[in-house]
């Protein structure tokens, strides 16, 4: 029965509107979390297992310690390039290593 000339619909409308607003907030939060989770899963899958987004899994290339040489360094040859400087005498290699570490 209506009170003071108000219908049942007039009394229920604010309650229903608040309820629907709460449901919409909960659904929005849920959808946002689900989208974020799926995007992170996709990024992790593309980067590989255990990798974190934003971090490269490869180390930067190291160049030969000989001054002016831009060939890749080989740890096997004391961080000198395999193409030109692997056969340097040990004394020269030590001198160039010391110069490189002083930088």
Q: Where are the domains of the chain?
A: 1-56, 59-103
What is the secondary structure of the chain as a DSSP string? --STT--HHHHHHHHHHHHHHHHHHHHHHHHHHHHHHHHHHHHHHHH-TT--TT--SSPPP-B-SSTT--SBPBGGGTSB-TTTTTTS-HHHHHHHHHHHHH-
Q: Judge whether residue 73 has pLDDT over 80.
A: yes
Give the residue among 95, 67, 94 at the shortest CA–CA distance from 81: 67
Q: What is the pLDDT of residue 51?
A: 54
* Tens-place pLDDT, residues 29-43: 999 999 999 999 888
């Amino acid at each position: 029965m209506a009170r003071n000339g108000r219908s049942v619909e007039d009394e229920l409308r604010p309650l229903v509107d608040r309820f629907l607003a709460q449901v919409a907030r909960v659904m929005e939060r849920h959808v946002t979390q689900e989208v974020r989770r799926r995007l992170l899963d996709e990024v992790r899958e593309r980067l590989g297992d255990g990798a974190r987004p934003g971090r490269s899994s490869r180390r930067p290339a190291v160049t030969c310690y000989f001054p002016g040489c831009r060939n890749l360094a080989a740890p096997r040859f004391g961080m000198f390039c395999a193409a030109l400087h692997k056969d340097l005498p040990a004394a020269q290699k030590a001198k160039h290593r010391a110069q490189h570490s002083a930088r």
